[in-house]
Structures are given as C-alpha cells and as structure tokens.
Copies of this chain bind each other. A is one copy, B any other.
Amino acid sequence: MDQFDLTSRLAADAPAPAPRFTGFPRYNFIGGHNDPALIPLPGLIEAARAALGRDGTKLAMYNLSQGPQGYLPLRQFVAGKLAGHRGIKGTAEDVLITSGSGQGIDFVNRLLVAPGDTVLIEEFSYAGAITRARQSGAKVIGLPLDAHGIRIDALETILADLAARDIRPKYIYTIPTIQNPTGSILPLDRRQALVALSARFGVPIFEDECYADLLWHGVAAPPALRALAPSQVVHIGSFSKSLAPALRLGYASADWPMLARMIACKADGGTGAIDQMVAAEYFTHHFTGHVATLSTGLAAKLAVMQDALAAEFGTAVETWAPEGGIFLWMKLPDSVDVRALVAPALAAGIAFNPGPEWAVDAEAAKSQLRLCFALPTAQEIREGVAAFARVCREVTGIPPRSANIAHPGD
C-alpha cells in the first residue's frame, strides 16, 4: 500500500484538520492574552527555585502524590483567596485545580447536560462557554444584560415561561464579576435576587469568575454568588488573567457531592505540576501586590484604547465601561456587520473578536465586537485602532471622519 492515508479511516464526526499556525498579526486584539511586560519573571524564577527545592522529588509521583484535586499549596492559596476576597468559605478540600477554567466548563457540561437540555447564558458571554454547552447538545437561551449584568426581571420572565412549559434549565451560566465581554459587575441586590430565583426554580448557578481578580483601583465587588448560596453554585476561576494564560491553571469550588463528580471527570492524570508549584509559591507571597500592579497597568491601557477609539471612531462607536479585566466591548452602527471586517482587518495586520462569536444570538450581535487591550503596547493600541478605523471606513463608510484624517502621520 503505497498511499496509506490514516485519515481515510476517520470516524464520521471527526473534526476538520487544524490549519498550520502562522503566528499572530501585528495588532493582536483577540483572545485572553495578558501583558508580557507585567509577567513577574524574577518572582516566578525564585518561586520555581523555592518550590522545586522543597517539593521537587514529588514530581516522581502522579499528582505530586497529593491526589487528583491538585497541588495542596495551590489549593490552600485558592481557598484562602476565595475566603478572603470573595466571601466563599472552605478549605483546600473544597477546591479542584483544573487545566484551565475551560476544563471546569467541560466537567460541568459533562455532568449536568444531556442532549436536548436547556441552559441559560448571558446574551453576550465567553465564546468557549457557549460553544461547549452547544457541543454537549444543550439548547442555549440568552439572558438580557445591561450595564450592571443580568437583568433580573428578564431572567424571572424566562424562568417562569420555561417552567410553564415544564422546562427546567440545567444551569444559569454567569460571569457576575467583570463580565466577559462587557466588563460589568453585578450589584449585590441583583446577586441576591439571582440566587433567590435559582432556588425558587431549582436551577443551579454556574459562576465563572475568571476576571474577578482584576478590578480597577477603587472598584469593589460584592461577594461571589457561591458565597451567598453555596449549595446552589458551582464556582470556577482561573490564573490565566491574574498571572498568565499559558500556565493552564484554573480551579473549581463546589459542595463535595458535586466536586466529587467533577474530580471523577478529571481523567487527565493531573494538571501540569511545575506550573502549579510556581503559581502557588509566587501567589502565596505576592498575590495582592501583583494583581494591584497588573490592574493599574491594564487600566492605563484601557484608557489608551478608549482615547484611540474616541479619536478614530468618534460617535460611530458605543463602548461599554469595563470595571476591570482585559476586554472592551463595543457596538458600531447597525448597518455594520463586523463579520465583513474580519478578513480585510487581518490583511491589514489586525485581529479582533467579532461580536457574533461572543453572543448567544449571533445575528443580533453582528455590529458588536471585542478588543483585548492587555497584550498590545500603548503604541500598538493607538496604531491598531487607527488602522482598524481605516479598514472599517473602506469597507463600510464608517466612521465617515476620524483622527487619522486630521493626522495623516498616524
């Protein structure tokens, strides 16, 4: 057999081949990257030395000989952070370390969702959460948002309508603290109303706090939903935003009956050990200082991006006002379909996340988009936003005028 092609034996539902990776464009506003200048290298190197020196022989054992929940000092740090910053009581025994928060989302869908089930997700949300729910066979219903998160009146109507049809959703997925992509914080009274609705209709809450460590100076967040109603909530979080996404470190916190099922799903032989050791060692000593420095740097970049958008797009863009995090969510005029901008923007060296991929109803979000301001430098933000405005105008005629006309040197 000269031409043996393994792929001729593929299962019918095998995914399409991945393209070869060819690098990122010059102006990279996509995804959840962080600021390279704010990776605390000396601290991480010292943490690696200290943690390996103390616990390195444990690398010879799967899970560092500490069981599938993860490296004990990391779980202890998470439990302390959740108690001290988010009001969630518990110990290291209540925490599962996951290989990124995406693994936590996988586990919750694996455990709760059967094909045909219904789940509720904020109308604009993390693409990975929407996609994973749908891959599990769920019907996804969007929850209307305003500047402060889920609109409780709308949620109540949706839950009541579903109950009237004997449909009980498997979960309400929410990012209440620095919502992705809008950057809002759900106020305490809405949190209380949300957990009350969850209890009344018997619908679990799936709380994702991946961005909750990154609040602008002076901004305070109410307690986590799991702090308000522990038994009703599966809570997940991540070190991707507070430290670095390449580490692949997330965590889950839930009451033991649910956590024990999530642990049963963790068939990957554990999460990478040195990543866990370094994160635990570094954050045990430097968490508060690091997230303060990081948030200050990110807030400054957000201001640069807001200024650039105002200068380049003027009134043609409506931006949300994030209270932390790494994303800016915005809307162009209804006549603009941002999907038509993806290819010409890429050709001009610009990558952005089109709103339809971050929305339960793709069509309704066709004029919206998300920009990440964490990775590019201030200069790249200014140049990239100007370049994006040029592409947008060439394709759509919008914005009709912008700063780059007045300042052709841009």
Contact = CB atoms under 8 A, between A and B. Distances in A.
B258 A7 contact: yes
Interface of A: 1, 3-7, 9-21, 23-24, 31-39, 41, 44-45, 48-49, 52-53, 56-69, 93, 99-100, 102-103, 110-114, 117, 168, 170-171, 198-200, 202, 204, 229, 231-232, 234, 243-249, 254-255, 257-258, 260-261, 263-275, 278, 374-375
Nearest to A203: B9
A32 B270 CA distance: 13
B34 A264 contact: no
A245 B62 contact: yes
Contact of A248 (B49, B110, B271): B271
A21 B69 CA distance: 8
| Residue among A13, A23, A273 with the highest chain B CB neighbour number at 10 A | A273
A327 to B, nearest CB: 15
15 contacts: A4-B204, A6-B257, A6-B258, A7-B258, A10-B111, A17-B260, A18-B68, A21-B67, A34-B61, A39-B59, A49-B49, A59-B244, A103-B268, A272-B273, A272-B275
A129 to B, nearest CB: 13
Given A6-B255, A10-B261, A272-B275, A247 B15 contact: no
Given A15-B264, A44-B274, A273-B275, 13 more contacts: A1-B232, A4-B204, A4-B229, A6-B231, A9-B168, A13-B114, A59-B247, A60-B375, A61-B245, A61-B246, A62-B245, A247-B274, A248-B271
A378 to B, nearest CB: 15
Nearest to A117: B11
B45 A61 contact: no
A64 B246 CA distance: 6
Contacts of A100: 268-269
Given A36-B61, A274-B278, A9 B170 contact: yes
Contact of A63 (B5, B64, B65, B246): B246
Nearest to A279: B274
The 5 closest A-B pairs by CB, nearest first: A272-B272, A21-B67, A17-B260, A246-B273, A48-B48
Tallying the copies of this chain within the complex gives 2
Contacts of A41: 52-53, 56-57
Contact of A199 (B4, B58, B61, B111): B4
A60 B45 contact: no
Contacts of A246: 58-64, 270, 273
Given A18-B264, A273-B246, A204 B6 contact: yes
B274 A272 contact: yes
A248 B269 contact: yes
A194 to B, nearest CB: 14
B48 A112 contact: no
A14 B102 contact: no
A1 B199 contact: yes
Contact of A111 (B14, B37, B103, B269): B14
A149 to B, nearest CB: 22
Nearest to A63: B246
A64 B20 CA distance: 16
Nearest to A3: B231
Contacts of A9: 112, 168, 170-171, 202, 204
Given A33-B62, A246-B270, A273-B275, A254 B6 contact: yes
Contacts of A21: 66-69
Contacts of A7: 257-258, 261
Contacts of A270: 246, 248
A53 to B, nearest CB: 7
